[in-house]
Copies of this chain bind each other. A is one copy, B any other.
Amino acid sequence: MTQNTKFNAAILIIGNEILSGRTQDTNTSTIAQWLNSIGVKVNEVRVIPDIENTIIETVNHLRKVNNYVFTTGGIGPTHDDITAQSISKAFNLEYEIHKEAFKILESYYKVGEFNEGRQKMVWMPRNANLILNPTSGAPGFYIENVFCLPGVPSILKSMLGGLKNKIVGGDPILSHTISLKTVESEIANSLTNVQDNNKDVEIGSYPFFHAGKLGVSIVIRSEDQLKIDKCSSEVLEFVNLKKIEVVVR
């Protein structure tokens, strides 16, 4: 991976359900693709359990070594939702009712429906900035460079758009994929040469087995389209020489 990207982030998935294997995390991919599109590279992902001290320590480490931290999970109404109170402790801030969030949920629900459970969702670190939720009302929040989003994938996805102007990024990270009907070992040496010629471009090689097709996808990533094009030509050059078939996936 090239290290010249100016803006980077860590993703912190909070939840026992991912660690037990019961639930498949899909939020990493959603957030990572969105960050790439606004020029922020993901350095690291961690999945941790719903344990307060673990959340506090991990957030306090990650926020120091990354431009941004995105957490998912643990901001709902139940006993296992402890992200907001843990983040308050991490920043040494009061955990209290957020007046704006209270107003939002009070008008979101019908009269009588804004019950005690739902009111838990307006407790946040003091002076938290809200992240609006067009899907189910309850906002996420951010403090400094730590952005706290819900765990439900469809809700999380709907909230990212509203964050765009809160994040300073660089040039979008572009990528080009060339899929080949071959095996990795046939192209390993040639691909190493291309990587050696283009040290500041990230070149990945990934075997695939999909819908009866077997092959290798070569993924070329950079912020510079010209560099991607140069690598592409070099790959296609050895592909032609070796008479390897390019496939559409």
Kindly identify which residue among B28, B33, B77, B173 contacts A185, using a CB–CB cutoff of 8 Å.
B77
Chain B's nearest CB lies how many Å from the CB of A47?
Answer: 4
Does A118 belong to the interface (CB within 8 Å)? yes
Does A30 belong to the interface (CB within 8 Å)? yes
- Please name all residues of chain B whose beta carbon is closer than 8 Å to the beta carbon of A221 when the two chains form the complex: 16, 20
**A78-B184, A78-B191, A205-B80 are contacts. A20–B118 as well, Cβ < 8 Å?**
no
Chain A binding site: helix, strand, loop or mixed by DSSP?
mixed
Which one of A37-45, A85-93, A158-166, A227-235 contacts B? A37-45
User: Contact: B47 with A19, CB < 8 Å?
Assistant: no
Contact string, A119-154, partner B, CB cutoff 8 A, digits 1/0? 010000000000000000000000000000000101
A residues neighboring B (CB under 8 Å): 1, 3, 13, 15-26, 28-36, 41-51, 76-80, 115-118, 120, 152, 154, 173, 175, 184-189, 191-192, 195, 202-207, 209, 219, 221
